[in-house]
Structure 1
């Protein structure tokens, strides 16, 4: 079996501050863990660990260890290649904001690493490269999204925040953000090792689509996270872990994460 390594760098531009992105990113993780990622036959998430660390990747931060039972939440073309055992994904993540390191492994399907460095960018600052290849910039407004993933309420061209008054974003949003801010860029370096020949282009597109969708949601769900503090986020993480434990035992059915937990 041939083993292939894909190394790809992504730049994701967002009209928010680095501090806002920290809360948005952690909130989105909880919503994803407690929402669509945990629905459907054979699906669910087990949180094995969620604790602070003081001597690890990035220095001090928060360590999480999860098992994803992904069920039908992977593309059919990918699922067809995998043995049934591969529908379980183990994830370890070290978050020392703005540095994040994540390792995922899928039984029989390969491994992947994601290094995420969120950096503030103001004005016409060149985007640095983390690796030798040219990065791939993701634009949450102008990049096309597949019709089956499109939602009107998650379209930055239509969304306006009731709490912050920001939006909607036009095609020229980047020029305006560079002139008056805020503007940040998340740098994500992905290393994926997979054991099936001829999959690189599909894997690249899959990663791009996942990141595009997640960051469109981060912007368009800002009324849900804009008033949250890091203390709120930790409380939400604890509530999510408890709900997921109950759900995996078939005891809990609930709404989207956070709807009844905070504020």
Structure 2
């Protein structure tokens, strides 16, 4: 049975700030989670233009997540079953991500994201029809919540206490009860997750597990977006793109894979040693 769930993540920042924050967060979390055996391999990172999204950035990645497989899944499939292939089209403020699993060929997971300058009150930003709206579940995520579950530990759980948090550079924080209703600036990432695992006996369980995993990832990544605000606040898009490209090269070195395909032939020629040190500082911050 196809699962359709919309997560609304309200953030205490502007749309323009979130674009930088999200790119910085992805880069840093990928570096932290990648080693010789597991993590993220970047295959492509390039500009694109089409009739659907217009202009944007296309990425193709492989995620090796063997250690995060729930115990019940390893009884019916090898650990390599959690090797995921991701293709993403980022035409901010619209994005689309498609995730497939070579082991489960019928499995599909799509995340469609729309970003709005509101506090999560828009009811149909994805333009769903009546049948889809009837099937859709909606959950509003509070990044200030300290709630944890199994997937929080599997994905990772930051130690930020936003009820006491205060950004030095921006002055943002703390986030107290009901902050979404009166905080300015504010924006929301509306993430529509569609997941289908049509396998008899365990398909529904797999769908629910992956939905829970995506939920935990949304929470952790967006908590980091805000918690790391003093690291990215004030960076330009040009600066964050340069850090992203260099970070992709470092990722593939860590996971012992060939360099990614980009518009330039050689990452080392594109970036100076000083920019390499800057990325290393980001990773170890």
For normalisation by structure 1, the TM-score amounts to: 0.84
Structure with the largest fraction of helix: 2
Counterparts in 2 of 1:79 and 1:213: CA distance versus 1, 3 Å: farther
Aligned to 1:215: 222
Greater shift in the superposed pair: 166-175 or 127-136: 127-136
Contact 2:4 2:137 in 1 (8 A): no
Stretches of structure 2 lacking an aligned partner (at least 5 in a row): 258-275
Contact 2:19 2:92 in 1 (8 A): yes
Aligned to 1:164: 170
How big is the shift at 1:171?
1.1
How many residue pairs get aligned? The number is 248
Aligned to 1:89: 84
Contact 1:155 1:216 in 2 (8 A): no
Name the Cα RMSD after superposition: 2.7
Aligned to 1:144: 147
Aligned to 2:15: 18
Aligned to 2:213: 206
Contact 1:61 1:95 in 2 (8 A): yes
**2:182 matched to 1:176?**
yes
Counterparts in 2 of 1:35 and 1:185: CA distance versus 1, 3 Å: same
Aligned to 2:256: 249
Q: Which whole-Å CA distance do the structure 2 matches of 1:18 and 1:81 have between them?
A: 43
Contact 1:48 1:67 in 2 (8 A): yes
SS state of the match for residue 67, structure 2?
A: coil
Counterparts in 2 of 1:244 and 1:120: CA distance versus 1, 3 Å: same
Q: Which whole-Å CA distance do the structure 2 matches of 1:243 and 1:183 have between them?
A: 33
Greater shift in the superposed pair: 91-100 or 190-199: 190-199
Q: Which whole-Å CA distance do the structure 2 matches of 1:216 and 1:157 have between them?
A: 12
Q: Which whole-Å CA distance do the structure 2 matches of 1:69 and 1:260 have between them?
A: 22
How big is the shift at 1:114?
0.5
Aligned to 1:106: 101
Q: Which whole-Å CA distance do the structure 1 matches of 2:137 and 2:39 have between them?
A: 36
Counterparts in 2 of 1:258 and 1:223: CA distance versus 1, 3 Å: farther
Aligned to 1:238: 245
Q: Which whole-Å CA distance do the structure 2 matches of 1:229 and 1:79 have between them?
A: 44
Contact 2:21 2:232 in 1 (8 A): yes
Q: Select 1:192's aligned residue among 179, 186, 195.
A: 195
**2:90 matched to 1:59?**
no
Q: Which whole-Å CA distance do the structure 1 matches of 2:232 and 2:74 have between them?
A: 33
Counterparts in 2 of 1:32 and 1:172: CA distance versus 1, 3 Å: same
Q: Which whole-Å CA distance do the structure 1 matches of 2:76 and 2:190 have between them?
A: 30
Counterparts in 2 of 1:151 and 1:95: CA distance versus 1, 3 Å: closer
After superposition, give the CA deviation of every residue in 1:40-62 in whole Å (9 maximum; x if it has no partner): x6313221111101225411100
